[in-house]
Amino acid sequence: MSVDGWKSVLVLGGIRSGKSGYAESLVADTPVVRYVATGATDPADAEWLARIEAHRQRRPHGWHTDEVTGHPAKLIEVLSSAQPEETLLVDDLGGWVSALLDPTHQPADDRATIAELAAAVRACPARLVLVSPEAGLALVPTTPVGRAFADALGVTNQAVAEAADLVTLVVAGQPVTIKSDGTVSASAGPAAVADPAATTPAAAAAPVAAAPVAAAPVVAAPVAAVEFDADGDAGQPPAFKPGMTLPMPAEQVRATSVERLATLDQPGSGFGVLERVVGFAAATQDHATPRPWDRVRVVLLHGDHGGGVAAGDSPQESSRRAGQARSGEGPLARLAAAAGADVTVVEAPAAAPIEDGPALTADEVQAALALGWDVAQQAGLAGVQAIVVAACGAGGAGAAAAVLAATTGAEPAAILGRVAAPGKKIDDAAWMLRCAAVRDALHRTRRGTRGALDVLSQYGGGDIAVATGLLLGATANRIPVLLDGPVGVAAALVSRDLAGQARHWCLLPDHGRQPTVRHAADVLGLTPIVDLQLDLGEGTAALAALPLLRCAPTLAGALGEHPTPAGSADPVSTDTGPDRAAEDDADDTDTDEVTLFVEPDDEAQFVEPEPAGPGPASTDTTR
């Protein structure tokens, strides 16, 4: 869940502020979450039971609920026993304070117990989101119990906020960061979320008070991990087959937006190649003055390939790179943080050696497509405005070359990029093994069909199949996709054969001088915007170019029209009086004094002059 070091987040908010919904959005892309419930049930309170049931119905099926009601030590035990790979959502600390003040647990040293909770939060190895009601904004409770609750909750919030990495206050559904120990990456979760239930009856009875809060950037969206589900349960995806009907960008709006650039109040000759970016943004947003992509999600696909296509790659290294992205480390996560983008790591199914047989079964292909489609649906629900496709699996580049060779008839040796070994060396032996594996796979399937689904099954593997579903899902949600690397462009080729509209939602920031990407871009009709020659892994070039891509629609939308319309008369001379007209007439008739232009003689022949001495133009050596 963490981005650039974040592991624990405290979400504060008043009753019905949207705090619970916002907290759930932070872990929405995590397939398995331990939901730690602190609110005690009261069989005599039907309305409260209905609120708890509404919370339960809202949770995804993959989440597990732990009840820690009745004693404050239970929550501390859960946090202390959590594992590093787990994600915990505690909702909320108001219920924990209610248990802390229960007369059956008195006498008790409340501050000592609160200190134990803060220590457990600080030492918890799991990814942790805690929800708590804010302690008050104005009135002091009129009852002793209410005042005791407000005091204990205020002390608890202060202690946990000190231990947490991030603290966010949700007001009217709008999250505002009030504590950040480092650089905040991007906004996370929907702009407005609903909190279907107040967390505890005690919280509802106790008015709360808080110090003024300064506005700050919104909390960074967490890194999410999405696991491959062989059953393909992805929220009723469509039937993946050729001829899918998906939306197209507004091409007329594209032309209008580019034409509008000529009227803007700008010095120089204009936007240059960034005109294409403005047109692309306008067409995908269906607006002649497009907005920059503020909410960008990087989808990192981790799925290894077996056999020769992975020669020179290490599955252990690919797993390490995926782990780096999850923990906010490595080039991809660092650039994502700098660009204000969040990261989702998707675990794709491993692929079998293509020289021996199919990479995936037909059922696995459908499940992988459904997984990619579901990732795109989640991005659409979260308000994501653009998706960057990245991959880090062993053998992904070789599998992508096999897909290109099968779909375009290219020679494998011509499109397979060089294999970089540790120490910036080139591994030619690994490159030859990749070529051999791709050629063997093509020979093995020479009598078979090469439809889109067959290509994914025979050569593509899990990462390319998931990327294909992601592109189709993004197209269905009208989300533009920034391609960067062999896996992304291979998926674009396959998605084109399933739905021809998909490629029109793709933008290629850079080709990295990779022959696989260059060839696919030519076939898809995609022209790169920049040439950074950056080779830090898939997705990094797109993130490095993202600020430049954003500046084009920013300027296009911010600049006004030039005060002098294009095509107006020459502003240098505006004298149209009688004297000026007489001078013009004189210029028309007086041609003896000055000759401005001489019409060339069509019959005249150009003659090379004789050189002044020996040289390349002369063979006369006597001079």
What is the rounded CA–CA span in Å between residue 93 and residue 132?
5
**Based on the number of CB atoms within 10 Å of its own CB, is 355 exposed (0-12), middle (13-18) or buried (19 or more)?**
buried
- Residue 584, classed as helix, strand or coil, is helix
The catalytically annotated residue of 67, 347, 538, 599 is 538
Per DSSP, the three-state class of 320 is helix
At which residue do the structure tokens 């790179």 appear? 321
Q: Residue 31, Cβ neighbours under 10 Å: how many?
A: 17
Measured CA to CA, the distance from residue 350 to residue 364 in angstroms comes to 10
The DSSP letter of residue 108 is: -
Whether residue 171 contacts residue 13, with contact meaning beta carbons closer than 8 Å, is answered with yes
Task: Write b or e for each residue in 300-310: b if 16 or more Cβ atoms lie within 10 A of its Cβ, otherwise e.
Answer: bbbbbbbbbbb
H helix count then E strand count, the chain: 21, 15
Phi-psi region of 211 (alpha: psi -120 to 50; beta: other; left: phi over 0): beta
If we measure between CA atoms, which residue out of 321, 392, 307 comes closest to residue 354?
307
Look up residue 547 and give its DSSP letter.
H
Is 311 within 8 Å of 433 (Cβ atoms)? yes
Q: Active-site residue 538, yes or no?
A: yes
CA 23, 25, 31, 37 torsion-angle sign: positive
CB atoms within 10 A of CB 148: 17
Place of tokens 């990462």: 463
CA distance 166 to 276: 39
**In angstroms, rounded to a whole number, what is the distance separating the alpha carbons of residues 246 and 501?**
6
Question: What would the DSSP string read from start to end of 549-586?
Answer: HHHHHHHHHH--B-SS-TTPPPSS----SHHHHHHHHH
Q: Which residues are catalytic?
A: 538
